[in-house]
């Protein structure tokens, strides 16, 4: 079985050709700056370390996908002889609203159902669906499956997903917490349960820390709360997103600075978070380097970020009545030992003890970071959202 996994953004298309049973990745790459001057195409064959990087005009997603398919089947560095060898296509879809609680085979009716949620994710959903329609056109006759970022969190109870706004805003406008990064939270919490020996009852906290960041509380394998909300703006402090603030602060700034709706939205989504406080970069490596060289603003941003992660961990432990394992994943969670350490600092009262020596060692894969006496296991786990998409696709089409 060969599944082509597509993650289509408004100006990018990431792809992987995967065997979901053996987890072998045949090829991986991306098309960047689609429709923008300076389009770039990347292609890699992990088995042979073959890499290709070219600059080529990609005016629309159609040209981008054509280039992907031509390269996958090219003589020499291609990994399949014919595009018909692709058994199915799995798509990352950001927002499934309340209708889609699991992955789904895509047809015209289902696509219309996903489109009905476009209002909730105006930047992401239309781009994701463009990937679907382009694949249906260029790889005809093959099943397409949609895997939603929101689906894993649909098990949250109403007390966790409801906002204390007038009930009509939920009933009529569907305003509630949905949560995102669901494929990553699903994959990491699934691995965590395996590492715990698949007990009947388990309490796991997953910290997905990348440019976008979210935490989830996963009880007995089901998401019971998560930090992102109606949109991916709520929750933790992120690369450029503010996360939790007093909603009245946005109205205050908008009025005082005479901003449009779009401008205050951009301020909170693109100019806040690490970038907003540190001002020089939104990248965590730059932030840590600057803090290590004595930059006080960088240190403040780091302190704010980890203080919030720690507070969320403790609050989710309280919400679940305990925690068996805390997992760190995503670019920051997998790579930054100092952010992991600061995020659990002071949680010894809950029985959380990090092994500083093991935490400091760079090692790939799943690594246990807690001491032998820690009541709560701490792990770093490499996330794999594409594999979840490929597996779900396989399950649905097999």
Assess contact for 283 and 239: CB atoms under 8 A: yes
Count helices and strands (H / E) in the chain.
Answer: 15, 14
CB of 330: closest distance to ligand ADP in angstroms?
4
Q: Which of residues 292-351 bind ligand ADP (CB under 6 A)?
A: 330-332, 335-336
Q: Does 284 bind ligand ADP (CB under 6 A)?
A: yes
Size (the chain), residues = 398
Shortest Å distance, C-beta 183 to ligand ADP: 12
Told to check if 42 binds ligand ADP by CB under 6 A, we report: no
Nearer to ligand ADP, 127 or 376 (CB): 127
55 Rama sector, left if φ>0, alpha if ψ -120 to 50, beta otherwise: beta
The answer to whether residue 149 is catalytic is yes
Close Cβ partners of 233 (under 8 Å, ≥ 6 residues apart): 241, 242, 243, 268, 269
Q: Which of residues 199-228 bind ligand ADP (CB under 6 A)?
A: 210-212
Nearest residue (beta carbon) to ligand ADP: 331
131 or 219: CB nearest ligand ADP: 131
285 interacts with ligand ADP by CB under 6 A:
yes
CA distance 329 to 340: 10
Q: Which is nearer to ligand ADP, 71 or 214 (CB)?
A: 214
Minimum gap (Å) between residue 362 Cβ and ligand ADP: 8
Q: Which of 318, 284, 313, 323 has its CA nearest to residue 301?
A: 284
Q: Find the shortest distance in angstroms from Cβ 294 to ligand ADP.
A: 18
Give the number of C-alpha atoms closer than 13 A to the C-alpha of residue 74, restricted to the C-beta side.
Answer: 16
Kindly name the residue from 32, 49, 149, 286 that is annotated as catalytic: 149
Rank residues 219 and 380 by Cβ distance to ligand ADP and give the closer one: 380
Decide if residue 67 touches ligand ADP (CB under 6 A): no
- Integer Cα distance of 160 and 235 in angstroms: 13
Residue 239 CB, nearest approach to ligand ADP (Å): 6
CA distance 224 to 161: 9
Q: 148, 152, 173: which is closest to 162 by C-alpha?
A: 173
The residue ranges that bind ligand ADP (CB under 6 A) are 210-212, 239, 283-285, 288, 330-332, 335-336
The residues that are catalytic are 149
């Amino acid at each position: 079985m060969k599944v082509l996994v597509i993650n289509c953004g408004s100006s990018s298309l990431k792809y992987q050709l995967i065997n979901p049973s053996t987890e072998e990745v045949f090829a991986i790459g991306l098309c960047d700056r689609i429709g923008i001057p300076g389009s770039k195409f990347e292609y890699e064959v992990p088995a042979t370390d073959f890499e290709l990087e070219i600059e080529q005009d990609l005016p629309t997603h159609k040209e981008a996908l054509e280039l992907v398919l031509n390269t996958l089947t090219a003589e020499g560095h291609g990994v399949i002889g014919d595009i018909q060898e692709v058994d199915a296509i799995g798509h990352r879809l950001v927002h499934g609203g309340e209708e889609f609680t699991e992955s789904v085979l895509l047809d015209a009716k289902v696509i219309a159902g996903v489109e009905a949620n476009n209002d909730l994710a105006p930047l992401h959903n239309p781009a994701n669906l463009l990937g679907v329609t382009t694949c249906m056109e260029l790889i005809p006759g093959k099943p397409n499956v949609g895997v939603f970022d929101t689906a894993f969190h649909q098990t949250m109870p109403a007390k966790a997903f409801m906002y204390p706004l007038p009930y009509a805003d939920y009933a009529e406008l569907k305003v509630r917490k949905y949560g995102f990064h669901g494929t990553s939270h699903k994959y990491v919490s699934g691995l965590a349960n395996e590492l715990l020996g698949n007990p009947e009852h388990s309490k796991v906290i997953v910290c997905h820390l990348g440019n976008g960041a979210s935490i989830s509380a996963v009880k007995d394998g089901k998401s019971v709360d998560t930090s992102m909300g109606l949109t991916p703006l709520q929750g933790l402090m992120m690369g450029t997103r503010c996360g939790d603030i007093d909603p009245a602060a946005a109205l205050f700034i908008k009025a005082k600075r005479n901003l449009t709706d779009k401008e205050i939205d951009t301020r909170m989504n693109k100019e806040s978070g690490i970038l907003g406080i540190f001002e020089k970069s939104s990248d965590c490596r730059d932030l840590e380097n600057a803090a290590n060289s004595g930059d006080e603003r960088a240190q403040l941003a780091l302190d704010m970020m980890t203080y919030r992660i720690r507070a969320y961990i403790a609050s989710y432990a309280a919400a679940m009545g305990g925690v068996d394992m805390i997992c760190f994943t995503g670019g920051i969670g997998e790579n930054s030992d100092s952010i992991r350490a600061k995020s659990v600092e002071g949680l010894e009262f809950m029985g959380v003890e990090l092994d500083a020596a093991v935490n400091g060692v760079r090692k790939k894969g799943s690594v246990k970071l807690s001491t032998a006496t820690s009541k709560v296991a701490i792990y770093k786990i490499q996330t794999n959202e594409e594999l979840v998409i490929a597996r779900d696709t396989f399950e649905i089409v097999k």
